[in-house]
Amino acid sequence: MTRLPRLIIAEDHQMVAEMLRQVLRPAFRIIGVAGTGDALMQLLQRATPDCILLDLSLPGRSGLDVLPELHRQYPTLPVLVVTMHADRAIASAAFAAGALGFVPKDSGVQELKLAIREVLAGRQYLSPKVAPHAQHLGLAAVHPGLSQLSPRQQEIVLLIAKGTTSAEIARLLGVSASTIAFHRLNIRQRLGITSDSGLLRYAVLVAAML
């Protein structure tokens, strides 16, 4: 018998993960589900998938935070981003961080299966549902609150947009991880952003518009 491709689903919403499991089960073998980025990395230590379906809006470390680590540790493992976001800037950031495919969650089951097969074959896949790039704007035009950020905080926002982890930002800037955590909190407060995942999405969009 032909072996079914083995998938791991990284999705924090249990209902969504179960729906993906049900619609994909006839053609693929789901060997694990992880609800956080850290849980995904732990799962990979004991499971060997052929492909990962990765949500970007994971609690704690977002999908864009996890992607560079996945790419470093498992460079040949295809990652298909399955996300609620259909923005070209976010898709570009995901590809730059190591993803091989990008599909919005409102895509049909057949497109999802097509995307999985494409990345399993080593081919990049970008859903036609993804919106084109936004018009490039000046920094102040992107969000009035950006003018309130210090140059260092603006630098951190752009590093976040590249998928750089807080630990990596700390090393690049020669400061402690706690300093970066403090900056991230201040940035969120000044911009009115309530979560780290929201800051990540915002940073990616800012970088795309510059």
Domain assignments of the chain as residue spans, ordered by start: 6-126, 139-209
| pLDDT score for 138 | 47
Adjacent-strand bridge partners of 34: 10
On the question of a common fold for 6-126 and 139-209, the answer reads no
Compute the radius of gyration of the chain from its Cα atoms: 18
Task: State which CATH number among 3.30.1490.100, 1.20.1250.20, 1.10.3660.10, 1.10.10.10 fits the domain covering 139-209.
Answer: 1.10.10.10
111: its two tokens: 């497109």
Q: Are 85 and 201 in contact (CB under 8 A)?
A: yes
3 state SS of 103: strand
- Cα–Cα distances in Å, from 127 out to 45, 80, 159, 166? 30, 11, 26, 30
Q: Are 24 and 113 in contact (CB under 8 A)?
A: yes
Q: What pLDDT is attached to residue 141? A: 47
Would you state the structure tokens that stand for residue 180, as one six-digit string?
């970066």
Torsion angles phi and psi, residue 7, rounded to 5:
-120, 145
- The CATH homologous superfamily to which domain 6-126 belongs is Response regulator (3.40.50.2300)
What are 69's strand-pairing partners? none
For residue 132, what pLDDT is reported?
66
Q: What is the pLDDT of residue 113?
A: 96
Question: Are 12 and 37 within 8 A, CB to CB?
Answer: no
Beta-bridged to residue 80, according to DSSP, are 53, 101
Location of structure tokens 């089960």: 25
92 closest CA partner among 129, 64, 121, 62: 64
**pTM score of the predicted model:** 0.68
Positions in the chain short of pLDDT 70:
1, 89, 131-147, 208-210
